[in-house]
Structure 1
């Protein structure tokens, strides 16, 4: 066990202010790519080497939709760029891929809907600025994608960073347990939207705000319906009195078909599945292990998910409790080395699945009760497990108007600050950020410059697809 130093509030604040001298908040302004910047397409090709080769073209097709979808899949590219950017030296647990589509709602163990970060494939301790820049740049790129004006795009990005800075200042004044228990519930989220509607002036803005409120309430209500029973109606079929997962290649391929392509018999595949489940159960605490043991595995399938994750191994498992109307869908995703580990100290966890799980538990206000990890059946393959649908919901970013994205920027900035405050030092970080808007302006400048670079990278990627260097399957 490492010896923990307990500094006074004054010492922690002085520590943060001291970093401002070595790395002024204005130093984040004026970003330019490094002279030896690697070829972005080559970085994606490097990632593809360990992925399911039949799914790599699907990944390319999803990234090809727009500069925004490209950015979602380009965490490795940005990690290489961030390594050359200024950093104060204040470390927190990073999401590693904190773009605006990796926030959303889900159910807490107490069945309360919470808004939080929801993707931790790249999580790793590191400079807090990395997450802030990834989030802020995503707002700039998304706003441009939605055809916002230059001023509207600037304001949305500035709002996200300001929300982060102001929230961190609030957390710096809170007790340690108060920070740990802080969360953004469904009720608080809707109250925030109601306040935004009430403060709008003018008929057009008021109407836009009311439309945003209606959409938000509909999305929250929809999220409440997204559970394992609803997943069964979408992903399952009843054959000879037994449910099984429907085949929808190449997006969903059941084990009964996947085994044939791998040259594995059905009995051998069932044995592997049960061994994996047994190993996964061992990573859960006793009460949750006992709960899981009440379910039996019915079927397993490979299922393509996301944008950046496409091509990594991902499965869904259908389990059954007391009867056929008591299903549990688990999602099993491959965990690889974080893209940040190319440039930051390696994770203290040798098992990448545990890295993801422990990072998620550190950053989220509440985590899935079935969150666990295991080693894959193949050598050097690692997995983490969680519920597939547990009232999960996300905003449709591409449909957002300036008012809606501004509100969303506020809640994402607050949420990221709360996640960093749990693992980092909120007093030191707040002291470094300061009370003025200098940090906000500096990060917004970085975001606009990085969005320009992302456009260039997207064009290089599109050229690689059109030239035949990369294969692409679109529309999946």
Structure 2
């Protein structure tokens, strides 16, 4: 793999590049979005994705997407990728999350055991136009606001909060030194302090609401700190015949011992294949992490369904044991396919999709899981990436949020996305392009409202496909 040539432009040149981009892509260019005349049928797009997925889980995926237009949006990144290819671009490239909807942000523990708020899903990560992530994020806030029953005015304010935070944060990063941008992070404490500062302002009703939000944040933080491998052991495993093993909870969790027929392998062949995968994964870790992982021995493996859009791709959990049976480590092994953006953008420089995910995550996150690694799967054209299953991970309960709470969350997500893009792209050029006015904010919000309308139509088409029997769905799983 040949490293790309690096240009070192002056600050003035970088600013000029950003401002010059307005000439061919005005800040108002996202207004008035309409779907392309040759836009593919969204159901057909989803059916094409299902071909390589675990067929017994495809109905589960459909059932989860069928819950609401918001859950449909979560599972239809490939549909939106097709729409984004025709949207205006300023020509300013960053590492994209690729699926930056609001549920792909959350808290988790850094290697120093601090709780950080950051992006936490990189299955679709790829270099591309910074606008793609912004539009995916802001549309998710409009759709979530409607899902929560907000007025059109409140939904618009929430969406504006997200894109405004992105623009203003990027302007701040444009003034910072390079290493300061790299070290920037948003901790759970930072979020709490920001809220505490606002408690004393506003009306009595606003102060009461802020205190409620603060209590919720503290409760979620405390809950996240309990989500580790020891807690997972109590939820996912049972002590049987002198050792722990993963409990069968079909179709969500199915131990490898029950999947032998599905993979056409004997128990011994499966055991050897799993150990070979573990050794290959260890080889992708830095030496110190490899040494740490070697202190654990493999105990059991199971298939485990996760997420919405990921359902049906291969996903496993592995239970390892350290010094004794009360020293567990759960790893998650997820299938990595080509990014949905690779249909419309240059292919990844990484031939191995698992490495694409890992390297993109390391580039965008303020701190990443120490166990991130990748392997080629046992079967042809299957690729995996590895990480900890639970490392104090937590997510916001978006469906229960009121306008004020979702606006606060939108600001945190906008800040975080700008920080991720500033690490991987050119914050000076992007900030110069975005400028100080709210033209970009309003333009993107207009797009988000129109895209939310389209998402409603796509959801209705999807629901009809389920009702007609074209698609099979299993709900409540």
- Please tell me the TM-score bracket, short chain as reference: over 0.9
1:38 has 2:37 as partner: no
Partner residue in 2 for 1:328: 329
Whole-angstrom distance in 2 between the partners of 1:376 and 1:200: 56
Whether the 8 Å contact between 1:197 and 1:213 is mirrored in structure 2 is: no
Alignment of 1:62 onto 2:70: no
Kept after mapping to 2: 8 A contact 1:245/1:254? yes
Q: 2:75 aligned with 1:73, yes or no? A: yes
Matched, 1:309 2:284: no
Distance 1:240 1:311 in 2: 32
Shift of 1:196: 3.2
Distance (whole Å) between structure 1 residues aligned to residue 84 and residue 199 of structure 2? 37
Displacement of 1:263: 3.5
Which residues in structure 2 correspond to 1:318-397 (within 5 Å)?
318-397=319-398
- Aligned-pair distance for 1:258? 1.1
Does residue 144 of structure 1 match 2:150?
no
Give me the CA root mean square deviation. Answer: 0.7
CA deviations on 1:217-264 (whole Å, 9 max, x unpaired) are 000010001000000000010001100000000000001111144342
**Aligned match of 1:245:** 246
Deviation at 1:201?
Answer: 1.1
After TM superposition, the structure 1 = structure 2 runs for residues 254-269 of structure 1, keeping only pairs within 5 Å, are 254-269=255-270
TM-score, length basis structure 1: 0.99
For 1:154-187, what per-residue CA distance to the aligned partner results, in whole angstroms no more than 9, with x for missing partners?
Answer: 0000000000000000000000000000000121
Aligned partner of 1:210 in structure 2 is 211
Q: Distance in 1 between matches of 2:470 and 2:287?
A: 50
State the match for 1:431 in structure 2: 432
Aligned positions, number: 475
Q: Is 1:200–1:209's contact at 8 Å kept on the other side of the alignment? A: no
What's the secondary structure of 2:94's corresponding residue? strand
Q: Specify the alignment match of 1:473 in structure 2.
A: 474
Q: Distance in 2 between matches of 1:469 and 1:2?
A: 46
Structure 2 length-normalised TM: 0.99
Q: Deviations over 1:429-473 (max 9, x none)?
A: 000001000000000000000000000000000000000000000
Deviation at residue 2 of structure 1 after TM alignment = 3.3
What's the offset of the Cα at 1:92?
0.1
User: How far apart are the structure 2 equivalents of 1:412 and 1:249?
Assistant: 34
- How far is 1:192 from its partner? 1.6
Q: Say whether 1:182 aligns with 2:173.
A: no
User: Does 2:411 match 1:410?
Assistant: yes
Q: Secondary structure at the match of 2:449?
A: helix
Give ranges in structure 1 of 5+ residues lacking alignment: none
> Deviation at 1:118?
0.1
SS in 1 for 2:138: helix
For each residue in 1:300-320, what CA deviation from the matched residue of structure 2 results, as whole angstroms up to 9, or x when unmatched?
Answer: 000000000000000000000
> Is residue 169 of structure 1 aligned with residue 167 of structure 2?
no
Query: CA shift at 1:189, angstroms?
Result: 1.4
